[in-house]
Amino acid sequence: MRKLPNSIKSPPKGTPVGLFFLLCLLASFLLSADLVYGATKRPVPRFVSLRSNEIKMRVGPGREYPVKWVLQRKGLPVKVIAEYDTWRQIECHDGTSGWIHQSLLTGNRTLMITHEKGKLLSSANRDAHGIAKLAPLTLLPFKLKDCKSDRCYVNAFGTKGWVPKNQVWGLLDDE
């Protein structure tokens, strides 16, 4: 009879094999939970925004890591893609990623216009007409509950309307 490697354990005597298998499955699920929920037990990925106008993005999760970029736009939407202790690995709209301390981020959501010819529309209907043009990189505060099918309701500098989801950065595919 072959000996099992040290990393593989057999069930204790008297334990039904099915119960042992179920316990192993449960343990693997609990260990993999950090892949979907980070250290804060909040979903990863998720969107947040920058709290201030000058934020150092580092190559690793700690002050001892060198600064990779300095982000200079309060309210910029960023995607949290990983968590380590009080540090968040974020991704920007251009694919750049790095680590930021959690205190430099806020849960206030914003959308950023990425489309060259962004439009603010009069309604969520498909036949809605444009009421304003939105320049690329324009930031728009919004509430996720105000997103319907393929559009989100925003207040663009006092003008309220709907922006198509395919013209913005700041939403997950299923939002």
pLDDT greater than 90 at residue 6: no
**Distance, CA of 81 to chain centre:** 6
**pLDDT at res. 42:** 84
- Cβ neighbours of residue 153 under 8 Å, at least 6 residues apart? 124, 142, 146, 147, 160, 161, 162
Query: Do 93 and 127 belong to one domain?
Result: no
The domain boundary, picked from 107, 128, 156, lies at: 107
User: For residues 110 and 112, what is the distance between their CA atoms, to the nearest angstrom?
Assistant: 7
3-state helix, strand, coil in the chain (%, to 5): 15, 40, 45
**pLDDT at res. 24:** 45
Q: Which residues pair with 164 in a beta bridge?
A: 151
**pLDDT at res. 129:** 94
The DSSP string of 34-61 is: HHHB-TTSSBSSEEEEESSS-EEEESSS
Query: Do 58 and 30 belong to one domain?
Result: yes
User: For residues 169 and 79, what is the distance between their CA atoms, to the nearest angstrom?
Assistant: 10
**pLDDT at res. 28:** 43
pLDDT greater than 70 at residue 33: no
Query: Do 119 and 152 belong to one domain?
Result: yes
Q: Which of 108-112, 143-147, 156-160 has the highest mean pLDDT?
A: 108-112
Number of C-beta neighbours around residue 23 at 10 A: 12
15 pLDDT band, cuts 50/70/90, is low
Overall average pLDDT of the 156-161 stretch: 90
φ/ψ of 117, rounded to 5, equals -120, 65
Query: Do 86 and 136 belong to one domain?
Result: no
pLDDT greater than 80 at residue 22: no
Query: Do 50 and 126 belong to one domain?
Result: no
Between 51 and 1, name the one with better pLDDT.
51
pLDDT greater than 60 at residue 2: no
Query: Do 123 and 91 belong to one domain?
Result: no
Distances in whole angstroms, Cα of residue 71 to Cα of each of 46, 58, 59, 104, 124: 19, 11, 13, 11, 33
How confident is the model over 55-107, as pLDDT tens digits? 999 999 999 999 999 999 999 999 999 999 999 999 999 999 999 999 999 99
**Distance, CA of 166 to chain centre:** 17
- Cβ neighbours of residue 83 under 8 Å, at least 6 residues apart? 38, 39, 40, 44, 89
Query: Do 83 and 132 belong to one domain?
Result: no
Q: Which residues span the domain enclosing 77?
A: 18-107
